[in-house]
Amino acid sequence: MGAWRPGQLSLQMDHYIQPPSRRPNLNVERANLPIIDMELLNHSNPSRGLVIDNLGEACRRMGCFHVVNHGIRGCVMKGALDAALDFFKQAEEDTMGLMSDNVRMPVRFGESFKSGSEDKVRSWRLFLKHYAHPLDHWVRLWPLKPPHYREKMGNYAVEARSLALKLLPPILESLGLGPSYLKPKIEDGMQVMAVNCYPPCPRPDLVLGIPPHTDYGFLTVLLQGSHGLQLMDPSTGIWTAASSSSLLIHLGDHLELLSNGMYRSVVHRAIVNAEEGRVSISSVHGLGMEEKVMVAEELVGEGNPRRYRESSFGDFLDFLESGDCGEGGGYKDTLRIGIYVKIKPKLP
Ligand SMILES: O=C(O)CCC(=O)C(=O)O
Ligand SMILES: [Fe+2]
């Protein structure tokens, strides 16, 4: 990554030191993730049904899989990663205007998930979050420097969205729902990108780049510049290391909700390293801001009660604002019926 300036990360290491129980193991086993070949999902493929079954199995077992033959060109992915890196290298100079703890800002630069309280352990991460769909609306708010940022990140945003829109119908099909289930709402849905940067850290064993969390929305397309992502295996609770060599798809909380818990959003975290910085780009896709996602009626029946209450992206932001989320995790627990009841203090 070359010379690195720490940017806005506070230099006081003790702000970042995790309590012993949350410190990461840096040398976990490799995750053995399913690989979905997008070309095999073409309707002309006679064994498409088998591929859909594999896709369903990947969503049920891990909530995460690699995709290949996804149609996003290598030069577009490299362009986006280069733009991200260039943005963070010069970020010290002109991001002050974008720095905000307000989770409702459509473009926001910062550290940690929500760096409001001083006593909270911070994450070893800088991020730029921006809305990305419809692109011509939001791109005007994206950084102007480096000069190629808007074009390169924009090209990637469009392709990442088209991949997410290609993947959702077969995922819904694998749940037994029609491929055009929610189609118009999905096509009008939101895309939020988190562009992450993890500078080199002298003590990667003591800190986290991002603490354990699940993503919101339906799907995240994750592009990594180098490895550092760890996934929790839901059946064993054991952390595993994801490969960075191909694109990853994470299922988000709203897909878990829609599927009535048949599919699950994957718990993941990012570790950092001492030698070089790392960048990653999460492109999160879901319904519109105030559009409620509900458990699909088709997946509720005798012996299979509704397990989640409805929720929108806006509700998720309310949850983040309410501050009872630690570092962004735990949202889906607030949606489970019968498990968690959020009591809001009544105002006089
Ligand atoms: O950096 C990574 O690999 C993960 C990023 C992530 O989990 C996120 O942006 O939500
Ligand atoms: Fe994430």
Q: What is the pLDDT, as a whole number, of residue 331?
A: 85
Shortest-distance atom of ligand 1 to CA 215: 10
Q: Supply the DSSP symbol for 170.
A: H
Amino acid (1-letter code) at residue 311? S
pLDDT in tens, 327-341: 445 788 889 997 544
Residue 277 buriedness (CB in 10 A; 0-12 / 13-18 / 19+): buried
| Mean pLDDT of the region 303-326 | 84
Shortest-distance atom of ligand 1 to CA 278: 1
At 10, the pLDDT band (50, 70, 90 cuts) reads low
Counting other chains too, the contacts that 49-57 makes at CB distance below 8 Å and 24 or more residues apart are 51/170, 52/170, 52/173, 52/174, 53/174, 55/170, 55/171, 55/174, 56/171, 56/174, 56/175, 56/263
Shortest-distance atom of ligand 1 to CA 194: 9
264 lines ligand 1 (CB under 6 A): no
224 lines ligand 1 (CB under 6 A): yes
196 lines ligand 1 (CB under 6 A): yes
pLDDT in tens, 182-197: 999 999 999 999 999 9
Q: Which listed ligand is nearest to 225 at the C-alpha?
A: 1
Q: What is the pLDDT, as a whole number, of residue 20?
A: 96
241 lines ligand 1 (CB under 6 A): no
Is pLDDT larger for residue 324 or for residue 338? 338
Compute the distance from residue 270 Cα to the ligand 1 centre, in Å.
6
Q: Which listed ligand is nearest to 229 at the C-alpha?
A: 1
Residue 345 has pLDDT above 90, yes or no: no
Residue 128 has pLDDT above 90, yes or no: yes
- Average pLDDT value over all residues in the chain: 89
210 lines ligand 1 (CB under 6 A): yes
pLDDT in tens, 137-185: 999 999 998 999 999 999 999 999 999 999 999 999 999 998 789 999 9
pLDDT in tens, 259-285: 999 999 999 999 999 999 999 999 999
Shortest-distance atom of ligand 1 to CA 224: 3
Compute the distance from residue 11 Cα to the ligand 2 centre, in Å.
25
At 111, the pLDDT band (50, 70, 90 cuts) reads confident
**Cβ proximity of 337 and 308 under 8 Å:** yes
Q: What is the pLDDT, as a whole number, of residue 324?
A: 54
**Alpha-carbon gap, residue 263 to 256, rounded angstroms:** 5
248 lines ligand 1 (CB under 6 A): no
At 6, the pLDDT band (50, 70, 90 cuts) reads very low
